[in-house]
Amino acid sequence: MIKNIIKILIILLISAQSSFAQYNMSTPLEGNSIANDALQFAVLKQLYKDISPKAPACFDYKVKNTQIIHFPYDVKKKNGKYIKGYWKELWTVDCCGKKIQVPITFYISKKKTTYNIEL
């Protein structure tokens, strides 16, 4: 009985902590990212999840700056649409006052643009 109560309390505590988390998901982001709003939003969802071990006591994240560190390279266009290439950006995330710089590589393909968060 007591073990079950303790388990329930732990679950409630974890739920309460995550409900206080402040993840700033608004786009467009500050800086000069060339990713569109939808791509920025997708990256943010994964980035905040991936970055949490780097600032375990923090529940307040915000991207403060984005900058291109490798302009689009090996880009190919077909009928006015990008079908191949990649570029790299450096996103600076504020985690409760701690600045974490995160390189992100974006890959263009015929179907979609994917990304790799380098933490």
| Strand locations in the chain (E) | 22-23, 60-78, 81-95, 98-108, 113-117
Q: What is the pLDDT along the chain (119 residues), one digit of tens a residue?
A: 676 555 554 544 444 444 446 788 999 999 999 999 999 999 999 999 999 898 888 888 999 999 999 999 888 888 877 789 999 999 999 999 999 999 999 999 988 999 999 98
Asked whether 113 and 106 are in contact (CB, 8 A), the reply is yes
pLDDT at 19: 43
pLDDT at 21: 60
Give the start-to-end residue ranges of the domains of the chain: 22-117
Q: Cα(91)–Cα(18) distance, rounded to whole angstroms?
A: 23
Q: Of 56, 64, 62, 63, whose CA–CA distance to 18 is shortest? A: 56
